[in-house]
Amino acid sequence: MSLSNMTKDEIGNLILRLQEKKKELQWFTPVGLSAEKFPDPIDEAGATTERDLGVTQANMIQAQLKEVTSALQRIEDGDYGVCVDCDEYIHAKRLSRLPWASRCIECQTKAEEEEKKKKEKVRLRSTESVGEMEYFNKSYIIERKQQ
């Protein structure tokens, strides 16, 4: 899909949708990022994991915010709807579901696989020091606490 075969109204709605999404992301507060003190060691362990989750969430929000902002920029530049990797048009169905998509489904899949490989390397390196069991124990404590 490209901007040239969209009506003015459709483009206006698209911009509105992206701006709404942008606001929503800007107002979002990730969990566990408030600096609270926890008295006993078990809660402390839980809090660390919760904070990690908050950081992960904050990173995801930042990444999506960047995508939405760049989609608005691409509308302004007139190259919205074109895949940033292969220059093919992104399918209209995909854009109606994910209006901030910057890649066609094929390139997105490839990019995500690359990302996964990179993360896997980082994970393998970090588990050497932290220990995977310790991580699972912490998740278990959080689950127990929520019941």
Among the listed residues 83, 100, 101, 102, the single contact to Zn ion using CB under 5 A: 83
Query: x/- site string to Zn ion, residues 42 to 81, per CB under 5 A?
Result: ----------------------------------------
Q: Give the DSSP letter of residue 5.
A: G
| Nearest distance from C-beta of residue 1 to Zn ion, angstroms | 13
Q: Is 14 in the site for Zn ion (CB under 5 A)?
A: no
What residues numbered 97-136 form the site for Zn ion, per CB under 5 A? 104, 107
Q: State the Cα–Cα distance between residues 33 and 139, nearest whole angstrom.
A: 17
Cβ-count burial of 50 within 10 angstroms (0-12 exposed, 13-18 middle, 19+ buried)? buried
| Nearest distance from C-beta of residue 115 to Zn ion, angstroms | 15
Give the tokens for residue 147. Answer: 């019941």
**Token pair 């050497």: residue:** 128
Q: Closest by alpha carbon to 85, among 113, 57, 55, 110?
A: 110
Q: Is 86 in the site for Zn ion (CB under 5 A)?
A: yes
Binding stretches for Zn ion (CB under 5 A)? 83, 85-86, 104, 107
